[in-house]
Amino acid sequence: MDLRLAAGALEGGAARCDGLTPSFRADADGTYVVQLDVSSPTHHRTDTVTVVATALRIPFDGAFIAAEFEPRHHLLAISDGPPRFRLIRPQDGTELTISLPATPTDLSMDQYNNQVVVATMGSLVVIDVFAGTVDA
């Protein structure tokens, strides 16, 4: 994280960060040290904050069968119990779930990352990733 403050921000002995709202989301459990360096032509200050973080965990019911990441940062997953396709946004844990006609065995995404084909026992299901619907 690199924040640059306007000249004069350190005048009077206190840094002003009007309008800045830094945030941090851990992608793995651990202890993180965030350091902020602020400098002007006449002053320099450094401060650190230690954050103990737990990464977002997405509950997964049923048996996990297969998964794939797509370029828009979604996790595509199939599971049974009940049979379903899941489009998950790991950034915030939201997801779209589509029921499948039978237990899935595998999934594959097209070269343009628009459609996913899910193989089930006895059929193929084509899912439009943008619309979140099953193509007829």
Cβ atoms within 10 Å of 2's Cβ, excluding its own:
5
| Model pLDDT, residue 96 | 87
* Distance from C-alpha of 136 to C-alpha of 126, rounded to nearest angstrom: 8
Nearby residues of 37 by Cβ (< 8 Å), 6 or more positions away:
44, 45, 46
For residue 31, pLDDT over 90 is answered with yes
SS3 content of the chain, % helix, strand, coil (to 5): 0, 45, 50
| Model pLDDT, residue 2 | 41
| CA angle (86, 92, 97) in 5-degree steps | 20
Contact call for residues 41 and 9 (beta carbons, < 8 A):
no
Nearby residues of 18 by Cβ (< 8 Å), 6 or more positions away:
none
Average pLDDT, integer, range 37-48: 88
For residue 62, pLDDT over 70 is answered with yes
Average pLDDT, integer, range 58-65: 74
- pTM score, two decimals? 0.55
pLDDT band at 89 (very low <50, low <70, confident <90, very high): confident
For residue 14, pLDDT over 80 is answered with no
Domain with CATH 2.40.10 in the chain: 64-134
| Model pLDDT, residue 88 | 85
Contact call for residues 121 and 103 (beta carbons, < 8 A):
yes
pLDDT digit string (tens) for 122-134? 889 999 988 888 8
Contact call for residues 35 and 48 (beta carbons, < 8 A):
yes
| Model pLDDT, residue 131 | 84
Instruction: Give which of 34, 108, 102, 36 is closest to 66, Cα–Cα.
Output: 108
CATH (one of 2.60.40, 2.40.10, 3.40.50, 1.10.10) for 64-134: 2.40.10
* Distance from C-alpha of 20 to C-alpha of 113, rounded to nearest angstrom: 35
